Amino acid sequence: MVSNSDAEEKITIIQKRVSRLHRDTDVLFSQGQQTKASVLKQEAEDRQQVKAAGDSAYAALERAVQRLVELPSSRDEVSEQDPSIVAIFHHAIEQFQGLSKTSQTNTYQLGTAAANYESFISVISLHNSKLDSQSSSWNQEQKAAHDSMLAWQKKKSEYDRKHRELSKQLSDARDERSSFGGWVSSGFSTNLDDKIYTIEKKIEENKKRYDEAEENEKWNKKLRTEANYGRKVCRDLKVRIKALDKEFATELLRVNESQLVESSLWRGLLELSSMVEDPKFLSSRDNSLRLVLKILKADDDKFGSGDRYVHIEERIKLAIIGRWGEDGFKKLLVPGERRGPRGFLANE
């Protein structure tokens, strides 16, 4: 059985642990929000970097096209017709290389973000296990306190029964003492007085034990209540932890998907970058324009209608159509075609 002093000590320990669990859980949530805020901030910066690099790359490509459509010959070397255009193309190449590198860096950073989320989810799992362990411990504490409380209640009942027995003995002894009055000898009277005194001392001792049992019962009941409260705290905190775990599981899934998208973007940009570096880019005006349109088509195939540079692509196409019309534009789309359609300036 648990004594009142032990129960009081255990209650103090439970209260301290409950307070620490609240504090540790709050710290965990704070760490989670900091981790999430850091990842979201990095993602926002990454998106801005990709946008800036992409804007520069496609703007450089558009400037190259603007110069190409001004060239008079469709077959002569581009550099022979306008030596300054070489620098413009090299700038476009550098911009696409930079865009690809930025996307590569972002892919790696998303991988780091995913690793950070996975690490934090592991911390959540450890904290959840800690709550389970503590709840189990307090469940045992609650049962032990309940059993101890019942044992002290039983002791109280025994002392209460003993009190009734002793009270009857005392009453009988006093009645016996009164019934003889002054007729009894002094020796017999003394024996009755001693008997009464002994019974009174027993009643006093029994009362003391009853009070102790009652006090122990009270503290064990408090311990049971405190242990039960501790278990409730664990349940409530687990509800919070479950929500936090779900939040970061969703975040991890989102980041993993973003990494897949960014990885696909990186591979696509690598391909576009390689196309921009094609030696044909400076072989002739028409070959250069065909390669530009091929790059735009590859861009559409890779990134679909949601391509953020569609407005630049549209201006590039309109620049070509504005120079040679729809027929001239379509002629450039035919693979392997070397002569422009009738009406091309170079063929007139």
What ranges do the domains of the chain cover? Answer: 4-148+231-347
List, for residues 56-81, the tens digit of each pLDDT value: 888 888 888 888 888 887 777 777 77
Report the C-alpha gap between 107 and 265 in whole angstroms: 9
Q: What confidence score (pLDDT) does residue 263 get?
A: 78
Query: Please, what sign has the CA dihedral across residues 77, 82, 84, 90?
Result: negative
* CA distance to 8, 106, 305, per residue, from 99 (Å): 68, 11, 20
The whole-number pLDDT of residue 344 equals 42
Q: Note if the pTM is more than 0.85.
A: no
The average confidence (pLDDT) of the chain is 84
- Cα separation, 61 vs 312, in Å, equals 9
Per-residue tokens: 341? 């359609």
Residue 278 sits at the vertex; the CA angle it makes with 56 and 68, to the nearest 5 degrees, is 60
What is the per-residue pLDDT for 189? 65
Question: Which regions in the chain score pLDDT beneath 50?
Answer: 182, 305-306, 337-348
Asked if residue 295 lies in contact with residue 61, where contact means CB atoms within 8 angstroms, the answer is yes
Q: How far apart are CA 173 and CA 227, in angstroms?
A: 48
